[in-house]
Structure 1
Amino acid sequence: MNDSQYFQRSYASARERYVRAAAAIQARVERHVIPGHQGLEGEDLSTDVVRLGPAMARRMLVLTSGTHGVEGFCGSAAQIALLHDRPLQALLDKLNVAILVVHAINPYGFSYLSRTNEDNVDLNRNSIDFSLPLPVNPAYDDLHALLVPSSWPPSDENAAAIADYISQRGEQAYQQALTVGQYQHADGMFFGGHRAVWSTRVLQMVFEQHGTACDSIGWIDFHTGLGPYGHGEKICVGQIGNGELRRARNWWGADVTSPLDGTSVAANVAGPVLDTLRRTCTHADTTAIAIEYGTIPLVDMLHMLRADVWLRQHPQAEKQQISAIHQAIRAAFYCDDDAWRGMILGQARAAILQAVMGLSRESASVGST
């Protein structure tokens, strides 16, 4: 199969290719369907799980795609490529390591070309303890009215106000104000929700089912949108402890970054999805990263996320405008370019191999060989 064929045109076709690839290697697909929702093409929406490698392995790598919906084209392609990668699959048996391939954590966003889920919740801000007071983000509060204007495209006055904010405070401050997450504006950007949403609960259930018997668990969550074109930054975020950042750099290299020590392009966001594993499998040593592949400049990417939120608030917009916004959002997170696609798959396979080898060096108490 040509590399470009791992990248599909839609969530529906990506899921179909994923299921077909699993069937070809006789792997069972565990399906979790969102109740009460259908996709852009009228399809059922589901998160699907395939487990590869020894059934009793106590060391496991998790690969997830579509945390941010429209970013799923990248992660899905890496997962489909893995399901065709017989040499890598054979290595799992040799090293007694399993891989859990979780396709489309946020199938609604993937299908509708949106970053957020069916409730406009950013899954990468939803893994917090909701029994505690919610985090506050006064910098976002100050920007909210500007970020989600009443019309699209924004007026000249609105664009000037955003540009003025960036010129006075800097691009990094603008990014930080938006992306750290907020819990007050359900109609806004980077909204973390008021409770654990369906996708987060499904992920917890999957970890409880497959991770309970594991001593060491790695995780790669595939993302796009930040950083230099095609470069995959490996980012360790969230509630990092017990030597996790050190292990991550031992597995994936000294270029693993973290907002905790100021080395990452990403903000230290509240409630990243990677914390779901850390909270669910407290018995295991966890080593989790997001890989963030660059697409377009930061301010342009954030502009398209503004369009995404505006469209959520204006479903009655003309079909031509809806289609144009969808395609522009898709282009901001998936580059229709063979060179970019090749960089994605090459770096993804290298990261998966590094994680498998790293896990193989970790101790496993029972069931190891």
Structure 2
Amino acid sequence: MQVSMPVAPFHADVFASDYADARRRFLASAQVAGFEVTSYSHPFTGPTGEALASDVVWCGAKDATSVLVLLSATHGVEGFCGSAAQIDWLRHGCVPDDTAVLMVHALNPHGFAWLRRVNEEGVDLNRNFIDFSRPLPENHGYCQLADAIVPHDLDERALAAADLRLSEYADYFGREAYESALSAGQFTHADGLFYGGIQPSWSRRTVETIVEQFHLKQRRRVAVLDFHTGLGPFGYGEPICDHAPDSTGVRLARQWYGASVTEPAMGTSTSVAKEGLSDYGWQQMLGDVVVFIALEFGTYSFENMIRVLRADHWLHRQGEPDWHAPHTRSIKADIRRHFYPATRDWQQMLLFRSRQCIAQALSGLSGEVNKVSHE
């Protein structure tokens, strides 16, 4: 069975202005569509005291054989993208027989509200899915560059010296080694970039609860689309597959999404191989049942990403920021712009590609169901 991509007009109102607005639009769209919401309340609040939560909607039969999971805001500030895709689907999507769609809106609500890529503890959720009973992974490159990645000061002289160190490291060790040192994950600098933490985060524990409460381990096939932004060509949605090479997950990903699927392990992706990815957590929980794709929408350069993340981490290193201070607003505007450009052309490309990949996933899942019914 082919699941056609919904041919729906472009509506900019699926894109929110902030976390609270995104949550309102998501909950309202779910209510209009007649779907029940399960909310997992976060223990902290947003910058203006707003309540935070991960909101979950199940669309389809409770006993569906296959499930498509749509995740937004794994990386907080990147949630503008995934939230819009989820709201758009709630308004225009349809579910094939014996298939369900499970939406997790704002997996990292604290990061979304505070315009941070990390959570309330400074932890990058996409480096947090490791076995904390074992020795923590080491990243010697990050340790060498830590005080250049997030300098103690952001004045012109300090930044120039820091940038020179980063540039010299990249020239000496190569671009891939440089990007791995910065972004592959580190477990030594809690106020630094791409920090994996020392224990499972609230968001990770919430994911594990959702998997159990919605009986995902009992499904025949689970597809996951985890929406991300910040890497790659402007507006392009790259389906990144971090399953082991030649695994069932890679085979099905290529079958469903086509030749655009990339693999960091094979060096074909804009993303380098990383520690503690959410992908690995889902694979650990579900095994060969899951086909996990990180759908990465490009914005601006890698260097600009490091610049805005550096400034944000420096800001929060000083303590909880004054949300209304001009310096805070400037830094937050920069990080928001990098991970959510908010231009009309970028929004249009995002919605088209999101609809396309969701339709491909549902078609793949539906094909799996039909295959079983004919065996």
**Pairwise same-fold verdict (TM > 0.5):** yes
In structure 1, C-alpha distance between the alignment counterparts of 2:163 and 2:172, rounded to whole Å: 14
Q: How many angstroms apart in 2 are the aligned matches of 1:165 and 1:213? A: 48
CA distance in 2, matches of 1:337, 1:117: 26
> Could you tell which deviates more after superposition, 148-157 or 186-195?
148-157
Equivalent in the alignment of 1:38: 45
- Normalising by the residue count of structure 1, what TM-score does the alignment of the two structures yield? 0.93
| 1:279 alignment counterpart | 284
Structure 1 residue 40, shift from structure 2 partner: 1.6
Counterparts of 1:1-369 in structure 2, within 5 Å, are 2-35=10-43, 37-85=44-92, 88-89=93-94, 92=95, 94-153=96-155, 155=158, 156-210=160-214, 211-237=216-242, 242-282=247-287, 285-315=289-319, 319-363=325-369
The code of the aligned residue for 1:132 comes to R
Q: Per the alignment, in what secondary structure is the counterpart of residue 30 of structure 1? A: strand
1:333 positional shift: 0.4
What is the CA distance between 1:241 and its match in structure 2? 7.1
Find the aligned partners of 2:245 and 2:53 in 1 and give their Cα distance: 30
- 1:51 and 1:98 in contact (8 A); partners too: yes
Amino acid across the alignment from 1:335: P
Describe the superposition over 1:44-79 as per-residue Cα deviations: whole angstroms up to 9, x where unpaired. Answer: 110010011122101000000000000000000000
AA partner of residue 262 (structure 1): G
Decide whether aligned partners of structure 1 residues 48 and 241 sit closer, same or farther in structure 2, where only a CA change above 3 A counts. farther
Per-residue deviation at 1:166? 3.0
Amino acid at match of 2:335: I
**Conservation of the 8 A alpha-carbon contact between 1:238 and 1:272:** no
Distance change in 2, residues 1:354/1:281 (3 Å): same
Amino acid at match of 1:354: Q
- Range with bigger deviation, 347-356 or 165-174: 165-174
Distance 1:106 1:317 in 2: 19
With over 3 angstroms needed to count, the CA separation of the structure-2 counterparts of 1:316 and 1:355, relative to structure 1, is closer
1:304 maps to amino acid: V
- CA distance, structure 1, for counterparts of residue 245 and residue 90 of structure 2: 30
Question: Is the CA contact (8 Å cut-off) linking 2:230 and 2:339 kept in structure 1?
Answer: yes
Quick check: 2:77–2:112 contact (8 Å CA) kept in 1? yes
Query: TM-score scaled by structure 2?
Result: 0.92
**Structure 2: which 5+ residue stretches go unaligned?**
1-8
Q: Given that residues 243 and 249 in structure 2 are in contact (C-alpha distance below 8 angstroms), is that contact kept between their aligned partners in structure 1?
A: no
How far is 1:281 from its partner?
2.2
In the superposition, relative to structure 1, how do residues 277 and 364 fare at CA in structure 2: closer, same or farther (>3 Å)? farther
The answer on whether the counterparts of 2:244 and 2:250 sit within 8 Å (CA) in structure 1 is: no
Amino acid at match of 1:3: H
Pairwise CA distance, 1:242? 4.1
SS at match of 1:281: helix
Question: 2:347 is aligned with what amino acid?
Answer: R
Distance 1:31 1:212, change over 3 A: same
Offset of residue 145 of structure 1: 1.3
Bigger drift between 173-182 and 336-345 goes to 173-182
Deviation of 1:315 after TM superposition, in Å, equals: 3.0
Structure 1 unaligned regions, length at least 5? none
SS where residue 24 of structure 2 aligns?
helix
Give yes or no for contact 2:176–2:272 (8 Å, CA) kept in 1.
no
Deviates more, 1:43-52 or 1:148-157: 148-157
Asked whether the 8 Å contact 1:224–1:334 carries over to 2, the reply is yes
Change (3 A) 1:113 1:203: same
Quote the offset at 1:169 in angstroms: 3.5
Measured at CA, do residues 153 and 45 of structure 1 come closer, stay the same or move farther in structure 2, by a change above 3 Å? farther
**Aligned with 2:273: secondary structure?**
coil
The verdict on how the C-alpha distance between 1:216 and 1:310 changes in structure 2, with shifts beyond 3 A counting, is: same
SS at match of 2:239: strand
Q: How far apart, CA to CA, are the structure 1 residues paired with 2:122 and 2:244? A: 24
Aligned Cα root-mean-square deviation (Å): 2.0
Q: Displacement, 1:367?
A: 10
Contact 1:57-1:367 within 8 A present in 2 as well: no
Local SS of the residue matching 2:313 = helix
The alpha-carbon deviation at position 95 of structure 1 amounts to 2.9
SS of 1:78's equivalent?
Answer: helix
